[in-house]
Amino acid sequence: MSFKENIHALFAPKTVAVIGASDKPGKVGHTVVHNMLDAEFKGTLIPVNPKSDTILGLPVTKSIEDLPEGLDLAVIVVPVKAVVPSMEALAARKVRSVIIITAGFKEVGREGAALEQQLIEICTKNDIAMVGPNCLGLLSTHDDNNASFAAGYPKKGSIAFFSQSGALCTAILDWALGEEVGFSKFVSMGNMAVVNEANMLEYLRTDPNTKVILGYIENVSNGADFIEQAAKVCREKPVIMIKSGTTTAGAKAASSHTGAIAGSDAAYTAAFRKTGVIRAGDMGTLFDLAMAFSTQPLPEGPGVCVVTNAGGPGILAADAIEKSQLLNMARLSSSTIERFKEFLPPYAALYNPVDLVGDAPAERYRKALEVVVEDPQVHSILVLLTPTASAQIVETAQAIIDVSKTTKKPIFVNYMGGMRTKPGVRMLNDASLPCSVYPEPLIASIETMYKYYLWRQTPAQEFPEIRRNRQKARLVINEARSKGATEVVEFQAQEVLRAYNLPTPNTVLARSSDEAVAGAEKIGYPVVLKIASPQISHKSDVGGVKVNLTDAEAVKNAFFDITARAQRMRPEAYIAGCLVQEMAPKGCKEIIIGFKRDDQFGPLLMFGLGGIYVEILKDIAFRLAPLGRDDAKGIIREIKSYMLLKGVRGEPPVNFQAIEDILLTMSELALDFPEIQEAEFNPVLVNAEKAVVADVRITLSAK
């Protein structure tokens, strides 16, 4: 059987052995057997223990050697020393999948990592699908399979959850039990030695019982696989993830936790964006989104209609909707208003928010909702109820539930209050309507769903072909490497840019002041002079840049000034002379385009406004290579200073196409040369006509 088929065996096994099963309540080996029985597992369950005869009424098999060949699943709970021998014995019995609950592997250090490596080798050789080690196990409600030592078993549902943290599994499971939320699958991934997040996404994509996928990750174990699988599944079902290790402290905790090396957060954000994964910032949001996505259809437009029995809360909700990026208050059509007039009291507000007024009985809600769901301007509905003296809490819940069954538009309910609203809230929950005490989380869910809807509509983007002379660039880079350099000096780096058809200003290298003047005359005034030294990469720091030199004398003086100062400030530096460079026209805007190679996800492109405020504003956006035309457009529009580039007070906009082309070319360069660790064009000077790369740094990996 193939590895993929064996992953299926983890969830839907016919024969399961528990290696290290125990007859002592409280032991993990006991709980697993108990949980399997409790889930009413329909297949054959075999406890394995050399010393017992029966466990929980089941006959015990004494050793792995006595197990039937081709077992679907083995759950291993033996002490860490016995795990590798058990795996060898199981491999000999041709086991298809295993869950290793036992801890004490990569997460504890080098020795553990070596043991884990042995497990990986056994699995790879035999195509065994292994979950763990160091995990809680997994469960699959539609297969009556609870191969875990978790406390409790959720009801059947359409949400799947996989998590790198076992503790978080316990917490979410408890939430599921408390809120009676159904789950299809629950997987505690542990160290992800074999089965990883990409395998999980691939499997869950084709799982007919799973509509929504939730994941908690601290790191991914294979960036490229993750991107490939996530991009596929997100086109079919929503994937909502929490990625921890966002803060530096969080990242440190994560790296000691599961032995994971937490990747840079910007790279993860970019990976999620590239693939369509929805990122939940916190647990509360994860739960809200899980409910919303699993119970409601996607809104097919931005228009929200608020139906309320109170003015104030209605306005609050309207404000929150208008403040959101994508949603707006639906403009109800005139026929809707006409129909309202037939049954709403004269003092009701007929426009969105539709205020049914404090004395609204359930029937008024029902009629109003029946009309609202038919309005083509309305794409989602937010029903608000405050527990006024005359509010019919339960009957109104029933009315909402009834109407929700007749429409393909998503309905969200905000029962404000707590005490009196409780029975209504329970009914709404049972009927799978997302319900909350405050409108804001519901509105946030509607917006996320609409964003996802829009994303699914966007066609695959275009990846334009970049004309380039790789060989020419290769020569320059090889030359730098052969000298053992980790940076390509600016003058040479310009060669690389020219090989990639990137716009560079006319530049000559001058070794003397006379050569500088000759260069300036050839280029034409005004010019810029820059220190040329392989050791000095931040030229301005040593007073190494002078702009706007308008005649021979200025050039001469600048040459002496720059070289003398550089010698004084950096006596160890070899100074080749000065670069004489064509000056970009006045009024150009400065931008930065760069990339950094992320260990997990590869080249991470960066775009931001340049100039002296970069450090403070930190107004930068990221995308992962390969960049497509939409990425290039998107990264530019994402920064807050985008408006400045568009031009203020009658200024013309900069040439955006020229910036996009530089971004796309940078992405190609990054993919063409894995040995370039980082590159930065700072600044690129851009105006309405064109963009030029005025400064370039190319950093090579140490080898």
Q: Binds 199, which of Mg ion, ligand ADP, none (CB < 5 to 8 A, cut-off by type)?
A: none
Residue in 181, 695, 696, 698 binding Mg ion, rule: CB under 5 A: 695
Tell me which of 285, 396, 682, 687 binds Mg ion, using CB under 5 A: 682
Q: Which partner in ligand ADP, Mg ion, none is near 584 (CB below 5 to 8 A by kind)?
A: ligand ADP
Can you read off the two tokens belonging to residue 491? 């003058």
In whole angstroms, give the CA distance from residue 703 to residue 701.
5
Q: Is 52 exposed, middle or buried (0-12, 13-18, 19+ CB in 10 A)?
A: middle
Sign of CA dihedral 675, 678, 683, 687: positive
Rule CB under 6 A: choose which of 530, 589, 596, 597 binds ligand ADP.
530
- Map tokens 């959720």 to a residue: 154
Hey, which residues between 478 and 497 contact Mg ion (CB under 5 A)? none
Closest CA relative to residue 214, chosen from 267, 153, 146, 163: 163
Stretch that binds ligand ADP, among 136-144, 308-316, 392-400, 681-689 (CB under 6 A): 681-689
191 near Mg ion, judged by CB under 5 A: no
Tally the C-alpha atoms within 13 A of residue 584's C-alpha that lie toward its C-beta: 20
Token pair belonging to 191: 């160290």
The interface region with ligand ADP, picked from 104-112, 532-540, 645-653, 654-662 by CB under 6 A, is 532-540
First to last CA, the chain: 40
Stretch in the footprint of ligand ADP (CB under 6 A) among 263-271, 491-499, 550-558, 581-589: 581-589
Distance CA 159, CA 558 (A): 68
* HSE toward the beta carbon, residue 395, CA cutoff 13 A: 10
683 scored as a contact of ligand ADP (CB under 6 A): yes
* φ/ψ (deg, to 5) at 459: -70, 160
B/e letters for 520-541, b = 16+ CB within 10 Å, e = fewer, are beebeebbbbbbbbbebeebee
x/- mask, Mg ion, residues 554-593, rule CB under 5 A, reads ----------------------------------------
Tokens of 77: 């709970």
Q: How far is the CB of 518 from ligand ADP (least distance, A)?
A: 18
**CB of 527 vs ligand ADP, minimal distance in Å:** 8
Nearest CA-CA partner of 694 in 686, 19, 577, 618: 686
Q: Does 545 bind ligand ADP (CB under 6 A)?
A: yes
3-state SS, residue 424: helix
Integer CA distances (angstroms), 62 to 23, 327, 584, in order: 14, 63, 82
To ligand ADP, the closest distance from the beta carbon of 580 in angstroms equals: 10
Instruction: Say whether residue 505 binds ligand ADP (CB under 6 A).
Output: yes
215 or 544: CB nearest ligand ADP: 544
Name which position in 49, 221, 581, 665 contacts ligand ADP (CB under 6 A).
Answer: 581
Q: Give me the least distance between CB of 489 and ligand ADP, in Å please.
A: 12
Task: Report whether 431 contacts 401 (CB < 8 A).
Answer: yes
Using the minimum distance from each CB to ligand ADP, give the nearer residue, 547 or 576.
547
> Could you give the CA distance from residue 301 to residue 454 in angstroms, rounded to a whole number?
9
From the CB of 540, what's the least distance to ligand ADP, in Å?
Answer: 3
Closest CA to 200 of 2, 7, 1, 9: 7
Residues 639-678, one symbol each (x = binds ligand ADP by CB under 6 A, - = not), give: ----------------------------------------
- Give the three-class secondary structure for 204: helix
| Residue (201 or 516) nearer to ligand ADP, CB | 516
Q: Is 538 in the site for ligand ADP (CB under 6 A)?
A: yes
Question: Mask 546-575, x = binds ligand ADP (CB under 6 A)?
Answer: -x----------------------------
Q: Least distance in Å: CB of 638 to ligand ADP?
A: 22
The dihedral sign for the CA sequence 279, 282, 288, 290: positive
Closest distance between ligand ADP and the C-beta of residue 535, in Å? 12
- Residue 225: how many CA atoms within 13 Å on its side-chain side? 12
| CB closer to ligand ADP out of 267 and 659 | 659
| One of 237, 414, 695, 698 touching ligand ADP (CB under 6 A) | 695
Residue ranges that bind ligand ADP, judged by CB under 6 A: 505, 528, 530, 538-540, 545, 547, 581, 583-584, 590, 682-683, 685, 694-695
Which residues are near Mg ion by CB under 5 A? 682, 695
